Amino acid sequence: MQQGDILDLLEAADWSDIIFRLTNHALWRTRRYKWISGRPELLPGGMTPEDLALTAVLKVWDGTRDWNPVKYPNLLTHLMWIVDSDIDHLYRSTEHRKTVRMPETEDKGEIEVPDSQAVEAGKILSPEDELIAKEERDFEEKLKEELNNSVKGDEDLEFLLLCLEDGTDRPAEIAQITGWAISKVYNLKRKLYRKAAKLGNAFSNKN
C-alpha cells in the first residue's frame, strides 16, 4: 500500500471516536498497576492516561510507530497496542521503580539477603519486587472487595464479576458461558462503568 493511500485512511478516520476509546482504554489499563503516585491518573514523568492516548496518536502520525493497514487493518487496535506498550514501559521505567519504597524493619541485622545470582536469574524475587508484588496483591484484594460490595444485590453484575475473577473477560466468551445475549454483556459493562465511577478512590492505590 502506498504512503498516499495510508494517509487517505488516516485522514478519513473518526478521530473523536478514536480518542475517546483510546483514552478509556488507557484509563483502565493504568489501573491495573500500582503507581508510586498512588494514583493511576498521575503517572511517572507527570503523564496522564489522556497524554498516553494523545502520544499514541502522535506516534502514528509522525511515523514513530507506523501503521500498516494491510498487516493490522484495525487502527484502534494498533493504537491500543502502542498505549499498552507505553504503559508497560512507564511501569518498568527507572523513574517509577527507583521511588518504590523499601519495607521497613526494626531489626535490620536479621534481613535475609537473597543470592544475587538467583535474583538475576528470576528464580527469587528481589526484596523490591517482593514488596511490589505484595502491594499489588493487597490492592487487588481491596478493589475486588469494594467492587463486590458495590454490586451486591444485582445478580447479573455479581455473576459478571465471577466471570472476571475466573479470568473470562471477552464479551463473546462471557455471553457463551452465561447464555446472555452479547448486547446484555455490553449493557452490564456500561452499568459496571457507573458503579466503578462511584467507587472513585478504590482505584487510587496509595497506602
Partner 1 sequence: MKDKKEKKGFLESFSDFMSDPEGISTEDLRTELIGQGVDVESLEKKVMEIVRKGSEERRLAWQKHAREQRAGIEEIFESRRLAKTAEDIRDRIMKILEGGYGHGALSYAEAYFRKKETVSERDLETLLNDLDDLKLLEELGEGKE
Output phi, psi for 173, to 5 deg: -70, -40
Instruction: Give 61 or 98: the residue with its C-beta nearer to partner 1.
Output: 61
CA 48 – CA 51 distance, rounded (Å): 5
Q: At how many degrees (to 10) do helices 182-199 and 171-178 cross?
A: 110
CA 36 – CA 136 distance, rounded (Å): 12
CB burial string 76-89: b at 16+ within 10 A, e below: eebbbebbbebbee
- Kindly list the residues in this chain that would bind partner 1 in the complex (CB under 8 A): 3-4, 7, 10-11, 15-21, 23-29, 31-32, 41, 50, 53-54, 57-58, 61-63, 76, 80, 136, 139-140, 143-144, 147, 161, 164-171, 177, 182-183, 185-186, 189-190, 192-194, 196-197
Least Å distance, CB 114 to partner 1, is 24
Least Å distance, CB 157 to partner 1, is 12
CB of 148 within 8 A of CB of 122? Answer: no
Instruction: Give 82 or 185: the residue with its C-beta nearer to partner 1.
Output: 185
Least Å distance, CB 123 to partner 1, is 20
Least Å distance, CB 16 to partner 1, is 5
Instruction: Give 8 or 115: the residue with its C-beta nearer to partner 1.
Output: 8
Instruction: Give 62 or 110: the residue with its C-beta nearer to partner 1.
Output: 62
CA 60 – CA 153 distance, rounded (Å): 45
Least Å distance, CB 75 to partner 1, is 12
Instruction: Give 102 or 197: the residue with its C-beta nearer to partner 1.
Output: 197
Cell of 127: 526484596
Residue 153 burial (CB count, 10 A):
7
